[in-house]
Structure 1
Amino acid sequence: MVDQPASPPQLLLLATGGTIAGRSANSTSLNAYTAGAMTGSELLQELPQLQEVAQIQLAQLTNLDSADLQFQHWIQLVKRIRECFAVSPELAGVVITHGTNTMEETAWLLELLIDDPRPVVLVGAMRPATALSADGPLNLFQAVQVAGSSQARGHGVLVVMDGQIHGARAVTKVATQGVGAFQSPDFGPLGWVDDSGVHLPVATGSRSVPFATLALPLQWPEVAILYGCVDPSLAMVSALFNAGVKGLVWTGTGAGQLSAGERDAIKTWPGVLPLMLRSSRCGSGPVHPSELQDELGLLPAGTLNPQKARILLLLVLIAGMERDELSTLLASIAINA
């Protein structure tokens, strides 16, 4: 009896646009191009090799520059992934083509919301599809390899770029140019993928998904980010407090430090303060508790960068959590990093 070859895994590809679907006027234009100019179908047509790797179902959710993503797109993305995982047990994983500018934010949002051992893999490109040596086709091919691999199960939401596999919590875009623009400061990549396959350690333990059952509303709370610098604008602080923002991330200098003027603005504010986190502008290294800062109601964001701290605050506020609950959640995230 002859063994039948195993069928390629079934994957869902959600196309959202970005540079990976970008077109420029000529092949040497790396910066002047239109993001989201090609459809997901066109991307697949350019990669017939994928037919040997996976059976792909395609859905075009949107087609834009990721800087133009809005909360409504996130709602649509979360709903589609949750529904597909719930009704399609044969589905091995999900691949999302995405612009690189905000890819880490979408990845972290999904990490906090999608509770399934099957991988969700985000992928993009630093060069448009029409460029010489475009990186998008290989990135997409490798993302499909990862999403269809049993090794990726249990690792949560992943980002695949330039042959590296990154976890959603740590990954960030660190450069405006070059195909190696994504890194995971403090942690490093989880693994890599090449022509010999996917290389990932076996996932151990259960993954914390604190908002697995959270329903996302049409109207999201207002959460802002303030950037620390020499002689910061206190008018910005007053404007945000007066506007009634529900959450505020302070991008502090050094290890998340606020200036004396900023601390005074918090102390003297007569109204209700928003829920607040301290992150750092440094790009790596943790923000630890500080008695001087914590007594003002600020909580340290650990190794979360400002944009990821903002996403955590958004979901905490949607869930109706209080400061003490946020503090406990932050400790849990640190343990499961």
Structure 2
Amino acid sequence: MAKKPKIAFLGTGGTISYTGRNSLDVWEYMDFGTRLSVSEILSRFPEVEDSADIIPIDVRQVSSSGIIPADWLALASKINEIASSNTELDGFVVTHGTATLEETAYFLNLTVKTDKPVVIIGAQRPSSGFATDAGSNLLSAVRVASSKEAHGYGVLVVLNEEVQAAREVTKTSTLRLETFQTPDIGMLGYADPDGKIALYRKPTRLHTSNTIFNIENIKELPVVDIVLSYAGANGTAIDAFIESGTEALIIASLAPGLPTPDQVLKITSAIKKNIKIIYSTRAGSGRVLRRESMVSEGIISADNLNPQKARVLAMLALTISKDPEKIQHIFDTH
């Protein structure tokens, strides 16, 4: 009999860890349901433990709406600790709520120091729900984390039997099972029922062991906030964030990279106060091109990162440098 792959299974909470009031409670479980530990989740889906030697590790038990940057640091540190102390592991699976899964996944993609697969999963329906996707997602994640094909791909997100890159994937629907999509570029491949992990392209931006980030001595991440542009936006939010102590602002600008005129006035004032400004877009896809006016004012382009992903990278970039051109280089390469 072939030796089973060895997988560390870390739980942080989310829909996949919930049981509802009954099998049809697939939308109010967060208000009335109960949470499961990692071991309890596994007990519901014995096929997963048949496929690998699972090491269950409870890290958090929270809704993804309650995840904060300190949790990112703790989770990345935990994975790094396990990776360095247990060299026999084949990979990692992390359960997470889907609301902020993409942000956690991207943070781990930038800070985890291992080439072994780290796979983040969630579920759109609780483990107790009728036609839940929890078991299928978990089995797919274990198969991806066990595979040689996924080595060196950075952190991966696996739901609905689709393999996505942490940097690029985003949640696109409140309830649909196919909610996680990669705009423009598309998924990396499939985790199909035959057990084959079929990958068709590889992420090219720096990730995991190749990034410039080291979180060993970081106790707290810099404060970075997001400002939304919309018709008539007057810049009040920019003043409020500056007053509250923000170090950088991600402008979720009007496509292709334009705040409103009133916001521009406030942005100019913020730059004079040494607040770093990064232009992303609310459009959900496409690059923000760095115009000459942005270069001259020290405004950074988020490239094709959406606002929430740009915030993650900005927080880490500020631990390296406060210089706009150096931060821009980080955005161009990560």
Do the two structures share a fold, i.e. TM-score over 0.5? yes
Q: How many angstroms does 1:318 deviate by? A: 2.3
Whole-angstrom CA distance in 2 between matches of 1:219 and 1:139: 32
Give 1:8's match in structure 2, choosing from 1, 4, 8. 4
Q: How many angstroms does 1:24 deviate by? A: 1.6
Range that drifts further, 144-153 or 36-45:
36-45
Contact 2:222 2:247 in 1 (8 A): yes
Range that drifts further, 142-151 or 321-330:
321-330
Q: How many residues align?
A: 329
The answer for the alignment partner of 2:14 in structure 1 is: 18
Q: How many angstroms does 1:202 deviate by? A: 7.6
Whole-angstrom CA distance in 2 between matches of 1:204 and 1:293: 28
Whole-angstrom CA distance in 2 between matches of 1:297 and 1:73: 31
Matches for 1:218-229 after TM superposition, within 5 Å: 218-229=219-230
SS of equivalent to 2:84: helix
Range that drifts further, 166-175 or 272-281:
272-281
Contact 1:67 1:102 in 2 (8 A): yes
Contact 1:214 1:319 in 2 (8 A): no
Range that drifts further, 102-111 or 266-275:
266-275
Q: Does residue 99 of structure 2 align to residue 101 of structure 1?
A: yes
Query: Quick one: structure 1 residues 270 and 121, their matched pair in 2 at CA, closer, same or farther if it must change by over 3 Å?
Result: closer
Contact 1:16 1:60 in 2 (8 A): yes
Query: Quick one: structure 1 residues 297 and 320, their matched pair in 2 at CA, closer, same or farther if it must change by over 3 Å?
Result: closer
Q: How many angstroms does 1:291 deviate by? A: 2.2
The answer for the alignment partner of 1:328 in structure 2 is: 329
Contact 2:144 2:197 in 1 (8 A): yes
Q: How many angstroms does 1:194 deviate by? A: 1.4
Identity %: 31
Letter in 2 for 1:183: Q
Q: How many angstroms does 1:23 deviate by? A: 1.9
Query: Quick one: structure 1 residues 321 and 61, their matched pair in 2 at CA, closer, same or farther if it must change by over 3 Å?
Result: same
The answer for the alignment partner of 1:259 in structure 2 is: 260
The answer for the alignment partner of 2:155 in structure 1 is: 157
The answer for the alignment partner of 1:318 in structure 2 is: 319
Whole-angstrom CA distance in 1 between matches of 2:215 and 2:138: 30
SS of equivalent to 2:278: strand
The answer for the alignment partner of 1:62 in structure 2 is: 60
Structure 1 residue runs of 5 or longer lacking an equivalent are none
Query: Quick one: structure 1 residues 216 and 305, their matched pair in 2 at CA, closer, same or farther if it must change by over 3 Å?
Result: farther
The answer for the alignment partner of 2:197 in structure 1 is: 198
Q: Does residue 39 of structure 2 align to residue 38 of structure 1?
A: no
Q: How many angstroms does 1:236 deviate by? A: 1.6
Letter in 2 for 1:267: T
Q: How many angstroms does 1:201 deviate by? A: 4.0
Range that drifts further, 289-298 or 195-204:
195-204
Letter in 1 for 2:25: S
SS of equivalent to 1:151: coil
Whole-angstrom CA distance in 2 between matches of 1:332 and 1:181: 27
Query: Quick one: structure 1 residues 151 and 39, their matched pair in 2 at CA, closer, same or farther if it must change by over 3 Å?
Result: same
Matches for 1:110-189 after TM superposition, within 5 Å: 110-189=108-187
SS of equivalent to 2:325: helix
Range that drifts further, 202-211 or 299-308:
202-211
Q: How many angstroms does 1:204 deviate by? A: 8.6
Contact 2:73 2:215 in 1 (8 A): no
Whole-angstrom CA distance in 2 between matches of 1:167 and 1:27: 32
Range that drifts further, 260-269 or 279-288:
260-269
Matches for 1:292-303 after TM superposition, within 5 Å: 292-303=293-304
SS of equivalent to 2:280: strand
SS of equivalent to 1:192: strand
TM-score normalised over the length of structure 1 = 0.92
Contact 2:205 2:333 in 1 (8 A): no
SS of equivalent to 2:83: helix
Letter in 2 for 1:13: F
SS of equivalent to 2:327: helix
Q: How many angstroms does 1:116 deviate by? A: 1.8
Contact 1:241 1:273 in 2 (8 A): no
Letter in 1 for 2:19: R
Q: CA RMSD in A?
A: 1.9
Structure 2 residue runs of 5 or longer lacking an equivalent are none
